Amino acid sequence: MKRSLLLLFAVTAFAQVPTPESVLGYKPGADFHLATYEDGLGYFRKLAAASNRVKLEQVGKTTQGREWWIAFISTPENLAQLEHYKDISRRLALARGVDEEQARALAREIKPIVHIDGGLHATEVANHQHTIQLGYDLATSETPEFQAIRNDLIVELWFSINPDGQTVVADWYRQNLGTPYEVSPLPVLYQEYVGHDNNRDGYMLNMLESRVITKATLETEPIIFYTQHQTAPFPGRIYLPPFADPISGNMHPLMLRWLSLIGTTIAEYLDGHGLTGSMHQETFDVWYPGYIDNIGNFRHTISFFTETALYRYATPHFYTVDEFPAARQGLGTEMLYSSPWKGGWWRLSDACRYMYEADMAVLGLASKYHEQMAYNKYRAARDTIEKFSTEPPFAYEIPRRQHDAPTAALLMEKLMLHGIEVHQLSDPDEWVILMNQPFAGLVKELFEPQVYPTLSQRPYDVTGWTLPYQMGVEAHAVTTPLSKQMRDSLRPVHEVSGLTAPFSRGANASYKVVNQVLAAKGSVAFSGEDIDVNFDKAKLDALLAANDFRAGASPLPEGAKPVKAARIGLYRPWVASIDEGWTRWILEQYQFPFTSLYNAGIRAGHLREHYDAIVIPDMAERQILDGHRPGTIPERYAGGVGDEGAQELRDFVNDGGTLVTFNNASLFAINQLKLPVENALADLRPEQFFCSGCLLKVHIEDAKNPLTAGLTPDTIVMFERGPAFNTKTDFKGKVLARYAKERSPLASGYLAGADRIEGKIAALEADYGKGRVILLGFKPQWRGQSHGAYKFFFNAFYE
Ligand SMILES: [Zn+2]
């Protein structure tokens, strides 16, 4: 009786499961239709209500405050055991206390979790549109293929990993649909602060979204983490692993082998379903651990992305072969492009179909090899623990007393968010990261300098990211085995606390405290690195304690300069700027008061009445002047600051304002203000000089200058396709920092033509009228990581 009731219930529930079309009013992927995140979530709620094969879970909230939900899809029996399977996953992933025999048994028992998601690059719209149909079919299809997937696996389906962006983009498209601006670019960042860089935050976890994904992933420990993108190298229809070299040596080789196997499996499956144009190994390498869809490889989850072709939004496009690159117009067959695409219509539904079938290929493979994949997670973790038990580095030591101790504490917190074990030693007072732990490969990747092999093609992204360098944190690799006595005296750290650093401008957090005091009408004076505060003692002590500082700063000597907060304007163009977003985020984090300054605000003039300092983040001169070309975007977003805006900026500095320019925006300032400064790297061909992003050492030339207060004598900066300066004879001002003379300034990453930058100026202050221009030929705020260089601009914000 019970049994037949259950059966009846299942059949009834199944019969009532709504199709996406019946809820949305169109088939997902239809021309000219984009579902918002709310539309997608609305559908998944109905799906979960109607099907016992779907379980929704809230994983957190987004930056803009949306409730963020994901779906687990499997058989009801498997879903009932979800917590048990998560627990097995974690045991296998950590390998602690699990021997070979137990691991084999657990791998046999588990129904492993596979993460499939609807992407985080919101303008790549098929990413999050295709997951709706996939969710429905995974829950309802009765073909043997789907039954096997449900029986063998639990699909962790993130229908979007950028809910805010999905809605921002769908709204923008709907508003322009049918107008001349139907395919015009989005004038804002689709992730509130970082837009496309939401896939460059994988290890730093600055954004809420990155933390939510990481936390959830450490909890489920999927065997596969698959993210959809939509930027295939043309005319390929989908870009798949194996990816381009170079590749990090800190991933377990099994991860890379599986990547290749999965990539060619997808290609074979697509060809088998009549979908041509799969491509491999071009353009994108995957060394950078900042990709959220790559970092998992360092934690033994097979992690990857694929790039399907995109026209724009949900608008179809017809391609002819003569639009193809010359080398591919012959439609020749290549080893890794063996079913060339022949052109024709490309619709959103095509992109959705490629993604859907690629998901099916991955799930099919995982269904066949799930036991081996689950075991491999254990195997990779065990191998890593064994490797660093016998070879260096055996540990990293991070002194708790150092130049910027609160930032060192922040680094420890970031590691712990990744499930890295941190220990504490009391004598000497330091944090210790033992390397015989499962995710040690990630620690090594983040702590060691990146050394590049000889390259056959130039890297397309950054090449050096060594975190202690970027953050200005002292860390030492331990190259001999630790003594038993030392190991025995280590205590595990569950929360980084108890730090009482001296309150000084050496620490970035001191700027936050100063800004909080100034905002509360307290008074502050600077003398070199020292800070004197006149403020309610109890409140000050609370602020100091909250920021890891010791209470009771000693009073300053005579001559300390009282400061007040500068009125800051941050230039925010309609050519949405990721660099602007990162700057805005950092200013908010350190509580600098500022106003976003748009083109109209600059052109309106009277800048000096409203601002003391104006910041222009990294962007090209023409972009600042011209912005979007009129006719390509709705009128209010067209144009840049123009010649009149450039004149207003000249007037602003002439009247005593401070203009701060990051990286290539410095060239705008040099040209528009006719500064007696030149770019020493102008006109060099890539064969003569090339750096797509590496860490370079600069020497502080003017240590007494208030603009360099708190910086270490040798600071490491992120140099990314930027300028370096020479001054001309009539230059008036100060050189702040310079690249080393007669030796390469390279600290980490790939730099070609080092001699071209040796001895050149990295940062300077140029006098102009009653004001000044601060040119920084690098990215002092790079992706919210280069804490060691923040003071290059923080110091410009006090009067
Ligand atoms: Zn993408």
Distance 198 CA to ligand 1 centre (A): 10
Closest CA to 579 of 196, 31, 106: 196
Distance 202 CA to ligand 1 centre (A): 14
Distance 230 CA to ligand 1 centre (A): 6
C-alpha angle 562-567-571 in degrees, rounded to nearest 5: 140
Question: pLDDT averaged over consecutive 10-residue blocks of the chain (799 residues)?
Answer: 47 72 98 98 98 98 98 98 98 98 98 98 98 98 98 98 98 98 98 98 98 98 98 96 94 97 98 98 88 97 98 98 97 97 98 98 98 98 98 98 98 98 96 98 98 84 96 98 96 95 97 98 94 94 96 72 96 98 98 98 98 98 98 97 98 98 98 98 96 97 94 98 97 97 95 96 98 98 98 97
Distance 639 CA to ligand 1 centre (A): 27
Q: What does the pLDDT read at residue 555?
A: 67
Distance 227 CA to ligand 1 centre (A): 9
Query: Residue length, the chain?
Result: 799
Instruction: Give burial (CB, 10 Å; 0-12/13-18/19+) of 78.
Output: buried
107-135 confidence digits (pLDDT tens): 999 999 999 999 999 999 999 999 999 99
Distance 31 CA to ligand 1 centre (A): 21
Distance 159 CA to ligand 1 centre (A): 15
Residue given tokens 């689709």 in the structure block: 190
CA 375 to chain CA centroid, Å, is 30
Distance 275 CA to ligand 1 centre (A): 21
Distance 43 CA to ligand 1 centre (A): 24
293-319 core/surface letters (b: 16 or more CB in 10 A; e: else): bbbbbbbbbbbbbbbbbbbebbeeeeb
Instruction: Give burial (CB, 10 Å; 0-12/13-18/19+) of 541.
Output: middle
Distance 228 CA to ligand 1 centre (A): 7
Q: What does the pLDDT read at residue 285?
A: 83
Q: What does the pLDDT read at residue 13?
A: 47
471-525 confidence digits (pLDDT tens): 999 999 999 999 999 999 999 999 999 999 999 999 999 999 999 999 999 999 9
Distance 229 CA to ligand 1 centre (A): 4
Distance 267 CA to ligand 1 centre (A): 19
Q: What does the pLDDT read at residue 559?
A: 74
Q: What does the pLDDT read at residue 560?
A: 84
Question: CA dist 492 to 416, 437, 455, Å?
Answer: 11, 13, 41
Q: What does the pLDDT read at residue 12?
A: 45
Distance 533 CA to ligand 1 centre (A): 47
Distance 117 CA to ligand 1 centre (A): 12
Q: What does the pLDDT read at residue 2?
A: 46
Q: What does the pLDDT read at residue 456?
A: 78
The pair phi, psi for residue 772, each rounded to 5°, is -155, 160
Closest CA to 341 of 244, 229, 238, 228: 238
C-alpha angle 104-249-257 in degrees, rounded to nearest 5: 45
Distance 627 CA to ligand 1 centre (A): 23
Residue 145, token pair as written in the block: 């293929």
Distance 124 CA to ligand 1 centre (A): 6
Closest CA to 732 of 779, 674, 679, 667: 674
Say which DSSP state 225 is in: E
Predicted structure pTM score = 0.96
What distance in Å separates the CA atoms of residue 732 and residue 149, rounded to the nearest whole number?
70
